[in-house]
Structure 1
C-alpha cells in the first residue's frame, strides 16, 4: 500500500539525505490540494487516496483529531509536522519492541513471537505474507525506513495496536453470554481505556438485545412449547404472542436480559485476570491454551454468579400476561413456590455449553483468519472492519450451532415448572425424552429465529459500540 508513497513522495535518497522537516513539508504540499496553507479532513482523505494510501474514514479521523491542536477543523503546516514527528517517535518504539534481536530489522520469526505474546497464533509462512505488505525492497525483512514509511499515516500508536488486527473481539453481542472475555493491554488498563471499552460494549449489547428482543423471546417460546404436536413456527409464534399480550409482550423478559450485562461483564473481566495470573508461566506470559482455559473458567464464574437472572429471564419470557408484575415479583413467586434450588435449574447444561461454544467460536475464527492471511495478506496485514465483522459473525454462529442443544435443554429445565402436568426431569432425562418424542430435530427447536437475529444484532452492536467509543474519546 505504501510502496507508491515510498517511491514517489519519500524516495530512498531523500529519506537518507533530507531532514524530517523537508520531507514533511513536501508531503503537506501534496495534501494541500487548494494550496491555502491548511488541510481539512476532506483534503486529507482525497490527498491520501490520490497518493495511493486509502486508510479508511476512521483512521483518517483519528489522525485529524490527534493533529488538530487548536481544534479549528484544519491542520496547518506546524500541526501537521508536529503530528508526524510525535507519531514517528511512537513508531520507533514500536519498531524496537518488534525487533527482538536488535539487529535493525524485523523478520517473520519476530512477527510470530510478538503475535504469540498477544495470544494470536500464526505460522511463519503467514508472517512472511504480512511482511510482504511492508517490505519494499524484497529482502523479506523490514528495516526502519520501510517500517516508518508504511506506518507513517497509520494512527496506531504502539506495536500491540498494530499486531492486534486479528484480536478476536467479543464486543459483537448476539444475545448469548457464553463468549470468553476481551483482553486488554497493560497500557489500556493504566490509561483507563479498558473500562471505557467495557462500557461501550455494555451499552452496545443493551441496545442490540433490545432491538432483537422479539426474536429472542420467540426463540424461547419455540424451545419450550415447540414439538411435533405443537408445530409453532416463526409466523404463528409471533401472532400468538401478540394475541396473548399485545405488541409490548414481544419484549417480555428483555429488562432482565439487559440488566444482567453489567454484573456479568464485570465479573467475567475480573475472573479472567485472576485465572490468567494462576496459569501464567515464570515470565508472567500466558499461552493460547491458557488464555482459552482462563476465559472459559471466567465465563463459568460469571454465569454461576448471575444465573438466577437467566432463570428469571426465561420465566418472564414464557409466562402469560399478568402472571408476573415484574422481575422482583417473579423472583418472589419462584422462591415461595419452588425454593432456592429453582434459581439454578438448567445450570449444568448451561455451564457445559460454554466449552463447545467458545471452542468452536475460536476454532472457526482462527480458520477464517488463516484463510484470509494465506490469500490476501501480501497486500495488507489489516483485514478491515467488514472482514473482521464477517469472521466474527460466522464463528459466533457456528459456536451457537454447536452449543444449541444444551441451550435448549437449559431453557426447558428452567421453564418446566410452568408447564402443566409436565414431569420435572433432569438434564439426561429431558435429553432422552426429546430424542424419543421429537428426534434429533427436537434439540434445535427455535434455532431459526436465533439465526435470524444474528445479523441485526451484530450490526446494531457494532454501530452503537463505535459511537460510544467516539463519545468516550477512545475511537
Structure 2
C-alpha cells in the first residue's frame, strides 16, 4: 500500500475537524466550541466512522495528486538547474508554484470539492450522500460537472502557494545541509524533519486561503460571488481571526504528510537515479 494513503487514514480525522471548523460560520452560537467539541458531537451523532466522512475522495486522489505534483516539479526543475545541476531556492519556489498549480487544476480541485461537500453534508439537517459514488453522481446531477470544480481560483492559489513555500523551504534546507558537497547523502529522518518544518511554514503562510477554499466548496458556496467576495465577507462578518480557523488540526496533519511525502520522493529519486543515470 502507498505510505501516503496510510498517513491519510491515520490523520484524516484532523482533516475532518479542520474542515468542519472552517465551515462553521460565526452563527450565534457557533455549532462547535472547538476541536474537542467537534469530535464529540460527530462521534455522538455518527459514531467514530463520522470522523472519516470524505476520506475516500482523498484516497482516490492521493496517488494522481502526488504524481502530478512531483512529475511537474521534476520537469520544471530539470529545466531550471544551473550547470552543476544545482537548484537554488528561488527557482525551487517557482518550480513548486508550477507543481502546485498543476495539481490543483488536474486533481486537487475536484477531490477537495467532493471532500468538503461530503463533510458539510454530514452536518446538515438531512444528509443526502449515501457513499462516494452516489455523492459524486448527485453533485453532477444537480449542479453539473461544475459542481465538482468549485473554488478553483482559491484551490490554485492555495496549492500554488503551498508547494511554492514547501519546495522553497525544502530546497533551502537541502542546499544548506549539503553545503559544498552536492553528493552528500541526506538521512531520511533529516529529510522528514525538513519536510515537517516546510509543512508548518506553509500552514502559517496560507491557512487564510485554505479557509476561503473550504467555504467556496461547501454547500453554502452560492452565497459568495467570487473568491474575493468570500474573503471580504469573512473579514466583514467574522473578523480576521476567522481566517485561521482549523490551524491546529491542519498543522498536525500537514507536518506529517509533507514529511512522509518528501521522504518517499527522495527515496524514489535515489532508486531511479541508480536505475537510470539521470545526469
TM-score category, normalised to shorter length: 0.7 to 0.9
Confirm or deny: 8 A CA contact 2:92 2:164 kept in the other structure. Answer: no
Instruction: Determine the structure 2 residue equivalent to 1:357.
Output: 162
Deviation, structure 1 residue 412: 0.6
Match of 1:245 in 2: 46
Q: Partners of 1:391 and 1:269 in 2: how far apart?
A: 17
Cα gap change, 1:264 to 1:356, in 2 (>3 Å): closer
Shift of 1:216: 0.8
- Cα offset for 1:354? 3.1
2:234 is the alignment partner of 1:434: yes
2:115 aligned with 1:316: no
Q: State the Cα distance separating 1:284 from its structure 2 match.
A: 11
Corresponding position: 1:297 with 2:98: yes
Alignment of structure 1 residues 92-171 onto 2, 5 Å: none
Q: What are the within-5 Å matches in structure 2 for residues 356-375 of structure 1?
A: 356-365=161-170, 368=173
Partner of 1:396: 199
1:413 Cα deviation from its structure 2 partner: 0.6
Report Cα offsets for 1:359-414 as digits up to 9, x if no partner.
3324444555577678xx9xxx6664443322221121111221111111011110
RMSD: 3.6
Query: Structure 1 272/358 Cα, relative in aligned 2: closer, same or farther at 3 Å?
Result: closer
Change (3 A) 1:426 1:325: same
Q: Deviations over 1:66-120 (max 9, x none)?
A: xxxxxxxxxxxxxxxxxxxxxxxxxxxxxxxxxxxxxxxxxxxxxxxxxxxxxxx
> Cα gap change, 1:417/1:336 in structure 2, threshold over 3 Å: closer, same or farther?
farther
Q: Is the 8 A contact 1:256 1:313 kept in 2?
A: yes
CA contact 1:253–1:313 (8 Å) conserved in 2: yes
Q: Deviations over 1:197-235 (max 9, x none)?
A: xxx7xx111000000111110100001015363153011
**In the TM superposition, what are the counterparts of 1:447-466 in structure 2 within 5 Å?**
447-454=247-254, 457=257, 461=260
**Aligned equivalent of 2:245:** 445
1:336 paired to 2:141: yes
TM-score normalised by L of structure 2: 0.77
Alpha-carbon spacing, 1:436–1:347, altered in 2? closer, same or farther (3 Å): same
* Preserved CA contact (<8 Å) 1:413 1:425: no
1:348 to 153, 178, 181: 153
Structure 1 match to 2:277: none
| CA drift at 1:454 | 4.3
Larger Rg: 1
Does residue 411 (structure 1) correspond to residue 214 (structure 2)? The answer is yes
1:260 deviates by 0.4
**Which runs of 5 or more structure 2 residues have no equivalent in the other structure?**
275-279
What is the TM-score with the length of structure 1 in the denominator?
Answer: 0.48
Provide the C-alpha distance between the structure 1 equivalents of 2:39 and 2:6, rounded to a whole number of angstroms.
21
Distance 1:352 1:213, change over 3 A: same
Question: Could you tell me which residue of structure 2 aligns to residue 205 of structure 1?
Answer: 4
Q: 2: CA distance between counterparts of 1:368 and 1:417?
A: 41
Cα deviation for residue 262 of structure 1 reads 1.9
Q: Deviations over 1:149-191 (max 9, x none)?
A: xxxxxxxxxxxxxxxxxxxxxxxxxxxxxxxxxxxxxxxxxxx
Alignment check: 8 A CA contact 1:256 1:309 kept: yes
Q: Does the CA contact (< 8 Å) of 2:93 and 2:165 recur in 1?
A: no
Contact 1:405 1:443 in 2 (8 A): yes
Tell me, yes or no, if the aligned pair for 2:92 and 2:171 is still in contact at 8 Å: no
Unaligned segments of structure 1, at least 5 residues = 1-199
Residues 354-363 or 327-336, more deviating: 354-363
Residue aligning to 1:387: 190
Residue 301 to residue 364, structure 1, CA distance change in 2 (3 Å):
closer
Which residue in 1 is equivalent to 2:59? 258
> Larger relative contact order (C-alpha < 8 A, sep ≥ 6)?
2
In 1, Cα distance between equivalents of 2:49 and 2:166 = 33
